[in-house]
Amino acid sequence: PTPTYPTDPKDPTKVVPDEPVPEIPGMIPSTPTVTPEDPGKDTPIPYNPVTDPDKITTVEGKQIVHFVDGDNGNNPLRDPNTQTHEFKITNGVPDESSHTFTLVDVPVIPGYIAEVKSAGGKTVTPDTPLAEVTVVYHKIGKIVPVDPNGNPIPNAPTPSYTNDPTDPTKVVPNEPVPAITGKTPDKTSVTPTDPTKDTPVVYKDNEVPATPNPQKAVVNFVDVNTGKIIKTSGILSGRPGEDINKLYSSSEIIKQLEDAGYEVVYNAFDGDGVTKYFDDDDNTTQQFTVALKLKEKAKTPDPIVPDPETPAKDPETPAEKVTRPEQPVKQTVNVPTPQKPVEKKTADKKEVLPQTGADNNEAATILGAAAAAIGMTSLIGAKRRKKDDK
């Protein structure tokens, strides 16, 4: 409708002010009333269609990074990494046309190697809000001990490579190979070019060294005065370099000989912490000497002059009645016959050191002393007879 301005009933030169504008269904006037400045001219009034309140919606953008086992049907190895972003749409108009997510550092999973070091960085829009990324892992390789023909060694350890803790696509370099008793590897460490592939390491049997011939040694106990061997250890046998002192000690024999009257002059076998070892000359018997000598015996005391009455046979000899008060040590002693002391002393000598072969004249010395004493007694008696005769 286009209504005319109504004339002011009080003034024919004017129109009524604030004339309401007409109503138009579905439209909203720009002003509710009109007061024309020139009542002879039309007044255009803009109308706008009536609209509903702003309609606001949201759309979630999402980036999902999956971590899967590429050798086992892409089964998940761990929970995925998910990032989200919200788009706002007002009356059908989005606030952003797109959004780009950040890159994700691929995690290290022990026993597996990833194909990439980082993933993600995808762009989404309100119309395509989902982006999915799959990171594929593979089982890590092993060190496989093999024989020279390339066959795996039964029951040998096959250690897996060790993950590089800072890079999911690598393993630690210079991985040591396992030790196998009786075998030697052709390399001591492994740095695989492809960490998902096994590395064969060739092992050879150790060469068994030939058993060395037994070495021989002997310890002799020698009398330094006679040069004769008193005792011997007998032949001692062992391997080259073996400690001979662990097989034999001279202490027991030395004790026996010391009990028999010997003393050690020097001990070239195990004296003063000396250690002897078998050499590697199996054609020669090693000889070690323990030198000893007989201890000096106490000097034999002057023989005691026996009572002249005992040995005297001649009744005319005045010595039978002679006494010697000037010799208080004089005692009545029965001097043994020469045969008995000789036999006794000889037997004692043989019993003590039969192996020395030394001749002990102790018995003969005593016998000679006794004979000399008897002679002296006779001489004293003769002198006294001459005195008496005078």
Q: Which domains does the chain have, with CATH numbers?
A: 7-49 (no CATH), 56-139 (2.60.40.4300), 215-294 (3.10.20.470), 318-389 (no CATH)
**Rg (alpha carbons) of the chain, rounded to whole number:** 65
Q: Out of 67-71, 208-212, 363-367, which region has the weakest mean confidence (pLDDT)?
A: 363-367
**Tokens matching residue 72:** 């086992």
* Portion of the chain with pLDDT greater than 70, in percent: 76
Q: What is the pLDDT of residue 375?
A: 41
CA neighbor of 144 nearest in space, from 132, 129, 156, 130: 156
pLDDT attached to residue 259: 93
**pLDDT value at position 301?**
44
Report the predicted TM-score, pTM, of the whole model to 2 decimal places: 0.45
Query: Poorest-confidence range of 42-46, 90-94, 128-132, 314-318?
Result: 314-318
> Mind listing the pLDDT tens digit for each residue in 241-278?
899 999 999 999 999 999 999 999 989 999 887 889 99
Confidence at residue 297, expressed as pLDDT on a 0 to 100 scale = 67
Q: What is the mean pLDDT of the chain?
A: 80
In this predicted model, what pLDDT tens digit does every residue of 119-164 receive, in sequence order?
999 999 999 999 999 999 999 999 999 999 999 999 999 999 999 9
Contacts for 4-7: CB closer than 8 Å, 24+ residues apart: 5/34, 5/36, 5/39
Neighbour tally for 19: CB within 10 Å: 16
CA neighbor of 167 nearest in space, from 233, 103, 117, 226: 117
pLDDT of 138 reads 97
Average pLDDT over residues 361-386: 38
Q: What is the DSSP letter of 383?
A: H
Query: Cα(375)–Cα(330) distance, rounded to whole angstroms?
Result: 16
Two tokens, residue 125: 């829009």
Residue 372 has pLDDT above 60, yes or no: no
**What are the respective helix, strand and coil percentages of the chain, to the nearest 5?**
15, 30, 55
